[in-house]
Amino acid sequence: MAIDYDKIMLLKSNDVEYSYTDNDTMLYALGVGFGRDPLNRNELNFVYEKSLKTMPSMATVVAWGAGHMRDSGINYLMVVHGEQRLKIFEPLPVAAEILVDSRVTHVIDKGADKGALLVTEVDIKEKKTGKLLCTLGGTTFARGDGGFGGPKSGAPKPHPIPDREPDIISELETNPDQALLYRLSGDRNPLHSDPDVAEAAGFPAPILHGLCTYGTACRSIVQEVCEYDSSLITQFDVRFSSPVFPGEKISTEIWVDGKEISFRSWVKERNVMVINNGKCILKG
């Protein structure tokens, strides 16, 4: 069934209620690799309630399921998460009741044999104060839904990576069971847990969630650039390039230009780029 452009552009919701606790905050941090060294006091601040901090990238899971992809009419067997964007206005509380607004902003027709791009935005507000905490932006690549007669342009432009050697290279291990832990933060797609489903999708084993790779890249910058002060990050955008398999090492190349941080991530053992066009903005 072809995409109905006029219908999909009307999809939106306002003030949908969600909540999360400090347990969810600690579970998310464990899911992106914090706490592997239980004596590392900097990491304990993300996984232990004594002085608990939140990761900016946790915004991608606190309202899991928000948005309108379920009602879009696209072929889910042919869907890929193409890009993730995040603007932080207030650091996420360690626990909160939140209100969520979501909308479709663009649907781009790349052609009958090239698919379509669906661009969405989600605002997350603190229910108690009404403060806008952050805005998530996402691009979904619907590979089987092009040719519906929609606009041909309007996709977000990728951030250019500097043409020089990186200033920092951060190498972080993932555990073989990491997808099984990360999925408890919301995304229970069996592609990340069931070997039979992964094989049917053409993979030799379950793959790591793209947003777990995103959170791992964020962890690299929190550690290497922010010295574990996660509140410094006000923007974190990526383009996904290829999946990671749990147990692989993620190497993130980082370029520091004042408050603008560029980055991309690789699995060097396979010589595969997994995140490209990364852009992080710091306060100040």
Which ranges of 68-144 would DSSP assign to H, the alpha helix?
Answer: none
Contact 77, 144 (CB under 8 A): yes
Higher pLDDT, 3 or 191: 191
Which pLDDT tens digit goes with each residue over 156-172? Answer: 899 999 999 999 999 99
Q: Is pLDDT of 245 > 90?
A: yes
Tell me which DSSP letter residue 75 carries.
-
pTM of the model: 0.94
Q: What is the mean pLDDT of the chain?
A: 93
At residue 65, what is the residue type?
Answer: G
Positions marked catalytic: 187, 192, 207, 210
pLDDT at residue 121 tops 90: yes
77-117 pLDDT, tens digit per residue, is: 677 889 999 999 999 999 999 999 999 999 999 888 888 89
What are the beta bridge partners of residue 265? 252, 275
- In the three-class reduction of DSSP (H, G, I as helix; E, B as strand; rest coil), residue 195 is classed as helix
Instruction: Check for a shared fold between 5-142 and 168-282.
Output: yes
Task: Tell me the CATH class for 5-142.
Answer: alpha beta
Helix (H) or strand (E) run with residue 52 in it:
none
- pLDDT tens digits, one per residue of 123-154: 999 999 999 999 999 998 887 778 888 888 88
From 3.40.50.970, 3.10.129.10, 3.40.1360.10, 3.40.50.720, which CATH number describes the 168-282 domain? 3.10.129.10
Angle at 279 between CA 223 and CA 205, to 5 degrees: 75
- Rounded to whole angstroms, the Cα distance separating 203 from 13 reads 35
Domain locations in the chain as residue ranges: 5-142, 168-282
Separation between Cα atoms, residue 188 and residue 182, nearest integer Å: 9
Q: Return d(Cα 146, Cα 114) in angstroms, integer.
A: 6
